[in-house]
């Protein structure tokens, strides 16, 4: 029996896990205190998807097959396939089963936002490997194309409400210099991209202005952070150190709360 295990870091039908699952034959579901488990079939593959209820909101996709070695389950070329955002954790000790997940993964989630080319997907993969639940973009508000059509005051109101919607969800806007961003986007020019209603520059300006507006109105409340990874770093552990510094403080808070609960 061949087996693979993934963390799904994108949601929604535009490149999210739902885009992959929606056309698969559905077999049923089960529920317990920690998660909802759904069963699907994908040709010669048996698919199980666990949606965790606790604060980290992990989505774990298990794939099994008796005949398929699963080496090509995720296409090796191209960014525009229906399995984007799946991070392979097959051999990661933290994600082996529900018990290990509940023991190692703290009950909060980081949502990584920012313009195209800033390194969101790389940051998400790195955090997952570090045992931190991470989501690639917020399709509901921050990465919703229509948010840019709204007046600035309405944008501020909606984004402020979004970051306070769930106290266990923290938003990180990634940034880099305009020169660095142009270089990264130039490398993607040959790729087939899903067209957006607004330019990359418009999105970049939106993230900057919405952060400043929320900050000026005292609405950040340690739920939204503007982070600039170290662009010229060779290794990801150096590149994403600014993100890890913040998540370390968040983790300390949850660990303290767990100790208090145990004493009670």
Q: What is the pLDDT of residue 81?
A: 62
We find that the CATH architecture of domain 2-91 is 2-Layer Sandwich (3.30)
Domain boundaries, the chain: 2-91, 109-259
Q: Is 37 helix (H, G, I), strand (E, B) or coil?
A: strand
Give CA angle at 246 (242, 249), nearest 5°. 145
Dist. CA 49–CA 129, nearest whole Å? 19
CATH node for 109-259: 3.40.50
First to last CA, the chain: 45
Q: What is the pLDDT of residue 76?
A: 66
Same fold, 2-91 and 109-259: no
Q: What is the pLDDT of residue 200?
A: 78
Q: Is the pTM of this model over 0.75?
A: yes
Low-confidence ranges of the chain (pLDDT < 50): 192
Residues 151/156/161/166 CA torsion (nearest 10 deg):
130
Dist. CA 54–CA 33, nearest whole Å? 9
Q: What is the pLDDT of residue 72?
A: 87
Q: What is the pLDDT of residue 263?
A: 59
Dist. CA 252–CA 258, nearest whole Å? 10
Instruction: Name the β-bridge partners of 51.
Output: 36, 59
Give CA angle at 36 (34, 37), nearest 5°. 120
């Amino acid at each position: 029996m061949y087996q693979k295990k993934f963390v799904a870091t994108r949601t929604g039908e535009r490149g999210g896990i739902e885009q992959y699952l929606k056309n698969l034959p559905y077999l049923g579901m089960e529920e317990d205190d920690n998660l909802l488990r759904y069963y699907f079939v994908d040709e010669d593959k048996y698919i199980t998807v666990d949606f965790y209820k606790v604060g980290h909101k992990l989505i774990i996709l298990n794939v099994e097959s008796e005949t398929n070695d699963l080496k090509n389950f995720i296409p090796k070329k191209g960014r525009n396939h229906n399995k984007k955002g799946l991070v392979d954790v097959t051999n990661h000790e933290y994600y082996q089963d529900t018990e290990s997940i509940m023991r190692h993964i703290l009950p909060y989630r980081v949502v990584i936002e920012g313009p195209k080319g800033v390194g969101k997907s790389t940051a998400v993969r790195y955090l997952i490997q570090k045992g931190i639940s991470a989501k690639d973009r917020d399709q509901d508000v921050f990465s919703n194309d229509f948010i840019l059509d709204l007046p600035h005051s309405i944008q501020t109101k909606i984004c402020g409400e979004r970051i306070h919607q769930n106290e266990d969800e923290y938003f990180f806007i990634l940034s880099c210099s305009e020169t660095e961003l142009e270089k990264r986007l130039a490398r993607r020019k040959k790729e087939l991209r899903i067209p957006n209603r607004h330019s990359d520059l418009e999105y970049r300006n939106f993230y900057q202005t919405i952060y400043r507006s929320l900050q000026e109105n005292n609405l950040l409340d340690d739920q939204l952070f503007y982070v600039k990874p170290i662009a010229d770093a060779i290794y990801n552990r150096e590149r994403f150190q600014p993100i890890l510094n913040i998540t370390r403080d968040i983790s300390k808070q949850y660990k303290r709360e767990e100790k208090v609960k145990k004493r009670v």
